[in-house]
Amino acid sequence: MMTVDLFKEKFGYEIDGVWFPRVTSITALANGFSFLRRGDIFGRRFGFQQAALWGTMMHEAVGKILKGEEEEFDARIMVSIETFRQWRVQYPLAIRNPAADIERRVLDLERGYAGTIDIVAEVEGVLSIIDLKTSTSVAKEYGLQTAAYMNAYNAMESESLRMCKKRWILRVDQYAECLGCFAKVREKYETNVGNGRTKNGFLESRITKKIFAIPHFYEICW
């Protein structure tokens, strides 16, 4: 049951006694909650809940790694974690203050919204916002999200003149491939995503499988 307190916790932040909607909640409205229009609402809602849990685990793990707080992470995301570590070698990030610039809370008082930036760092010498995603593709709303984050961040840093100039999406897409039938499945959704013999959307042979995680790094210009 959705209560007022649960709604406020799920869709916004309370800052100094004032509630502000999350950036992601606003952009979801702008996107029209498209999954509700595609049928099978219960199944999709369950899938999104699983994906949200997966995303939370990845965000927490990446945050700890960037802060130097290495620990044992959930076995389900270890392939994605190793992929992220390899990606860092290719794209070294200059993070001035990990304690402040990882999971950075921002607030735009003028426009009345708040949000959390995953990473504020220099990429190729340019201070940038990096938004970590575990989605299957880059959605149009990501442009709105990152623009809102950057606008709020720059407003808060206007006196320091430490402005972000670029926005990036780091998407880590993990899936398993059956070595017998070559079907692919995203375990966070438990749905088939490729060719192969499947049963009820699940791999027939889940014992013989190989797990992949592919990093995609995009500059957002829209």
For the entire predicted model, the pTM comes to: 0.82
What pLDDT, on a 0 to 100 scale, did the predictor assign at position 39?
Answer: 45
What pLDDT, on a 0 to 100 scale, did the predictor assign at position 210?
Answer: 66
What pLDDT, on a 0 to 100 scale, did the predictor assign at position 215?
Answer: 84
What pLDDT, on a 0 to 100 scale, did the predictor assign at position 184?
Answer: 74
Task: Count CB neighbours of 160 within 10 A.
Answer: 7
What pLDDT, on a 0 to 100 scale, did the predictor assign at position 204?
Answer: 41
Q: How far apart are CA 24 and CA 116, in angstroms?
A: 9
Answer yes or no: are the C-beta atoms of 200 and 66 closer than 8 Å: no
What pLDDT, on a 0 to 100 scale, did the predictor assign at position 45?
Answer: 52
Q: Which residue ranges of the chain lie beneath pLDDT 50?
A: 35, 37-43, 46, 193, 197-207
What pLDDT, on a 0 to 100 scale, did the predictor assign at position 53?
Answer: 85
Q: And the tokens for 142?
A: 């990501």
